Amino acid sequence: MRGNVIKAVENEKIIVILRGIESKKIIPLAEAMYAGGIRLLEVTYDATSKIPHEETAADIKALKEHFGDRMCIGAGTVLTEKQVELTKAAGGEFIISPDANESVIKKTVELGLVSIPGALTPTEIQAAHRAGADFVKLFPIVSMGPSYVKAVKAPLSNIKLLAVGGVDLDNISEYFAAGICGIGLASNITDKKLIAEENFEGITELAKKYVSAVRGASNG
C-alpha cells in the first residue's frame, strides 16, 4: 500500500487539505474534487481538540469506505502518535504534520503509512528525512517563495519536497521549476463560499483549473 500511495503523490502532485468541513458535506465535496481530477485528500485534525479526534477519524473512514481505491485519503495536522493510530484504524493512508516530530514519523512508518512531516530549514528537512519521512512538506512556504525551494534543493536534491502554504495558480509553475514534486492546497480550492452555498460544480471547476495548471507546470 505504501508504494502505491507514494506513486500517487508523485504522479498526481496535488493533495487537497480539508479543514473544518462539516461531516455531512465532506462526501459531496470530495466527489466534486474527484470530478475535477483530484485523487488525494487530507482531512485535518483540530489542534485545539474542539472537534474530537475520533470525529475526524470517522470522516477519514467514511471517505475511504466511499471511495475505496479511487482516492488516497490521509490525515493532516497530526501531532501525536495516538492520531497516527486513529488514522490507521480508520483506513487512512498517509500522515501529514506541520512539524517534524520524530516519534510521529517513526510511528507512521511502523504502521505502514506514508510519512509527510512539515519542515522549513535544511536542518529540519534532513532530520525528517533521516527519521524516515517519504516526503517533506515545506511549510509555510508563502514567506520564502520558489527561490528558497531552489536554494534548499541544491544540497538536498535526494529529498522529495512538497510546497504548502501560499501556492496558487499564479506561482505553481515557479515552484515546480524550483524542484518541488507536489503541492498542498487548502482555501484556494476549498472555497468557503462555494461550500456554504453547496456549489459543488464550482468546486469541480476550481479543481480542474489546478489539475490543469499542475500538469502544465510539471511537464514544462
pLDDT in tens, 102-151: 999 999 999 999 999 999 999 999 999 999 999 999 999 998 999 999 99
What's the CATH code of the domain at 125? 3.20.20.70
Q: Which domain covers residue 132, as residue numbers? A: 2-219
Length of the chain: 220
Q: Is 144 exposed, middle or buried (0-12, 13-18, 19+ CB in 10 A)?
A: middle
User: How many domains is the chain partitioned into structurally?
Assistant: 1
**Rounded distance, CA 10 to CA 60, Å?**
22
CA separation for the pair 213, 177 (Å, rounded): 13
- The grid cell for 14 is 496535488
Single out the residue of 36, 31, 99, 86 nearest to residue 60, CA to CA.
86
The per-residue pLDDT for range 144-195, each reduced to its tens digit, is: 999 999 999 999 999 999 999 999 999 999 999 999 999 999 999 999 999 9
Contact 18, 29 (CB under 8 A): yes
| Whole-number pLDDT of residue 220 | 65
Query: Taking CA 97 as the corner, what is the angle to CA 45 and CA 101, rounded to the nearest 5 degrees?
Result: 120
User: Percent of the chain at pLDDT above 90?
Assistant: 96
